[in-house]
Structure formats: structure tokens, C-alpha cells
């Protein structure tokens, strides 16, 4: 009811009141003015508390065909928009589930895992689409992609007199193998490699179902797609130590933040691979070289070198 209507109703009610009664009413009103003023002062800036609604996920899943029609840049923009709109929702789900990754269908967590070792890849994503009719949104916990990069030895950097520690490694797939020299950084939890370089060496190719995650390094956004590759270190005694692992392949590597420190870098090797293989790594700062030493208790997997694959060896620094 508006103030004008209320006043009109009061006036109509008082029209039949005699002068003595009206005077009594005004006396009561004047006496209660200070009390009304105190109540108004106490309540004027106290909004009514409303229960907080839990955040809801904003975003509609695409079909596999719709997602595959997007360019890599458009896929990255889609992921960025989803992460920005659903920041609080994702933060809550990651914290509640203590999850490393989430699969989201129709605004709900369809699947999740506590380790990146079982992160869904292209084939699993296609299987989810066939099951649900919708291509999944996949989110990786940003804390697991954080890189605390240091610059101290081996590869030269943009800073005069500065060098970066390196590791000679071999990467292989069913279609090829390549040797490369990557920068070794224990501040990185994962391993990141130039996608275009691996594709040129015939190690991998884009697949239907690849999901491009968006992350930030050195205050710059980059896109990456997880791929399963065989990673191998060779010890001082030429014993190969290898295992299958997840590696983040970054397209447009030359425009990415990974080459800001070392423009010639082709790979950043993180501690995840070292924790899996458990080598002793000798960093010789005088000679600026790396030596791989394995414990006698660790033995290479049998038949690691017997697999017949086309070899296209090339060293990169």
C-alpha cells in the first residue's frame, strides 16, 4: 500500500471524530515521536537477512560434433568463459571432493578423481558422449597446474650469465619416438611439451574428444591437452627406465609463457616424472651437466626397448 493511500484511509477514518478526540490523538502521536525515531534509527540500515543460495553451474554441454567444429582458440575461449562464470562453484566442488579433476554434465559432477593419473583422455571423453549424448566439460584443479619456475643452471636464458637445469629424455608413442633435452623444474608438478613439435615428429595427432584445458603461467593464459606418452630416462650405465605417463601438450608453444624464460625451450619437465621413476639426479654446477643415477633396487621394465616402432630421432635444446 502506498503512503498516499494510507494517509487517505486515515483521513477518512478521522473525518467523524470530534475536536476533543482529535486533540487527544495528536497528543499521543507527539508523545510517541521520540520512540518511533529511535526505532527508525536502529533499523534504517539493517537489511533483512536472506539465506544464501548455493552457486549453480552456468553452461550448456555441446555435442561432440559441435565441440569438434570449434577451433583450438575457440575451445580455449569456451573453457575460459566457463571457468570465470563458475569460479565459486568449481572452487566449492574441488574443495568438497578434494578432487584433482571434475567431469561436468548438465551442471552436475558426472565423474571426478583425486589424481591426474586417471584424468579422462580423448577416448574416454567420446565414451562419455556416447553414454550421455553430451560432450563433457572437464576441469583440472588449478593448484595441480601451478608452476613455481626457477632459473639457475644449464640452458641459457634471457638473463646474461644464467643457466637452466636440463634432462635428456625420450618420448615415444605407437607411431614414433623422439629424443629431446628439456628444462628440469621441480617447481612444476606436471610436464609440458610443445604440441606442434610432437606432431611434427609423428608422436601424436589431434583426436576427436581432445579437451583443451586453460591455465595460467607467468601471468599469461595458455591452452593444453593431456596426452598419454611413454617417458624414458637413461642412466649413466645406459640402462633405460620408462613408463607410460600423462603429459600436457601445449599448442602455439612459441606464443606461450613457457618460452619467456628460455626462448629455445621445447619441454618443461616437472617433478611428477621424477617421483614416479625415483632416480638420483646429480646436478653438476661446475660442468653444467646432469647425470642420472638409479638405485640398484630399481630395474628397467622388461622389454621396454623391444617394442618395434618407427624411430625418428631428433635432439632439441
Each residue's pLDDT, cut to its tens digit, for the chain (317 residues) gives: 555 656 566 666 666 666 666 666 667 666 666 655 554 455 454 555 566 788 899 999 999 999 999 998 899 899 999 999 999 999 999 999 999 999 999 999 999 999 888 999 999 999 999 999 999 999 999 887 766 443 333 456 677 777 778 888 899 999 999 999 899 888 888 899 999 999 999 999 999 999 999 888 888 999 999 999 999 886 666 667 788 999 999 999 999 999 998 898 999 999 888 888 888 888 887 888 888 776 544 444 434 333 333 333 444 44
Query: Which fold is adopted by the domain 155-293?
Result: Cathepsin D, subunit A; domain 1 (2.40.70)
Neighbour tally for 266: CB within 10 Å: 21
Starting from the edge strand earliest in sequence, which strands make up the sheet with 137-140, in order? Answer: 108-113, 101-105, 137-140
> Vertex 79, ends 78 and 82: CA angle to 5°?
90
**Alpha carbons 270 and 201: distance in angstroms, whole number:** 22
Question: Which whole-number Å values give the CA distances from 187 to 147, 148, 151, in the listed order?
Answer: 6, 4, 11
Rounded to a whole number of angstroms, the CA Rg of the chain reads: 32
Q: Do 64 and 133 meet the contact criterion of CB atoms below 8 Å apart?
A: no
Residue whose C-alpha is closest to residue 309's, from 203, 218, 164 = 203
pTM of full prediction above 0.85: no
Give the burial string for 228-255 (b: 16+ CB within 10 Å, else e).
ebbbbbbbeeeeebbeebbbbbbbebee
Residue whose C-alpha is closest to residue 104's, from 61, 137, 70 = 137
For the chain, the domains span: 3-43, 64-144, 155-293
Amino acid at each position: 500500500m502506498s503512503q498516499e493511500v494510507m494517509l487517505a484511509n486515515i483521513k477518512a477514518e478521522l473525518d467523524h471524530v470530534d475536536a476533543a478526540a482529535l486533540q487527544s490523538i495528536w497528543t499521543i502521536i507527539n508523545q510517541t515521536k521520540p520512540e518511533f525515531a529511535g526505532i527508525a534509527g536502529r533499523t534504517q540500515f539493517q537489511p533483512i537477512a536472506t539465506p544464501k543460495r548455493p552457486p549453480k553451474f552456468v553452461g550448456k554441454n555441446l555435442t561432440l560434433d559441435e565441440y569438434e567444429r570449434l577451433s583450438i582458440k575457440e575451445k580455449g575461449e569456451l573453457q575460459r568463459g566457463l571457468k570465470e562464470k563458475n569460479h565459486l562453484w568449481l572452487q566449492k566442488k574441488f574443495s568438497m571432493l578434494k578432487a584433482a579433476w571434475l567431469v561436468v554434465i548438465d551442471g552436475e559432477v558426472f565423474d571426478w578423481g583425486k589424481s591426474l593419473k586417471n584424468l579422462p583422455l580423448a577416448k574416454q571423453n567420446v565414451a562419455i558422449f556416447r553414454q550421455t549424448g553430451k560432450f563433457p566439460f572437464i576441469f583440472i584443479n588449478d593448484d595441480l597446474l601451478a608452476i613455481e619456475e626457477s632459473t639457475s643452471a644449464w640452458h641459457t636464458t634471457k638473463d646474461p650469465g644464467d643457466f637452466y637445469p636440463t634432462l635428456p629424455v625420450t618420448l615415444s608413442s605407437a607411431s614414433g619416438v623422439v629424443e629431446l633435452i628439456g628444462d628440469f623444474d621441480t617447481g612444476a608438478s606436471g610436464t609440458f611439451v610443445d604440441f606442434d613439435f610432437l606432431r611434427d615428429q609423428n608422436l601424436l595427432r589431434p583426436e576427436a574428444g581432445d579437451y583443451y584445458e586453460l591455465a595460467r603461467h607467468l601471468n599469461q593464459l595458455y591452452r593444453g591437452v593431456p596426452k598419454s606418452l611413454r617417458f624414458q630416462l637413461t642412466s649413466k650405465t645406459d640402462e633405460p627406465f620408462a613408463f607410460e605417463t600423462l603429459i600436457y601438450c601445449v599448442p602455439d608453444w612459441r606464443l606461450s609463457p613457457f618460452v619467456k624464460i628460455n626462448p629455445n625451450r621445447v619441454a618443461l619437465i616437472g617433478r611428477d616424472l621424477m617421483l614416479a621413476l625415483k632416480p638420483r639426479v646429480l646436478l653438476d654446477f661446475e660442468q653444467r651437466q646432469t647425470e642420472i643415477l638409479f638405485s640398484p633396487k630399481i630395474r628397467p621394465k622388461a622389454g621396454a626397448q623391444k617394442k618395434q616402432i618407427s624411430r625418428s630421432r631428433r635432439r632439441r635444446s
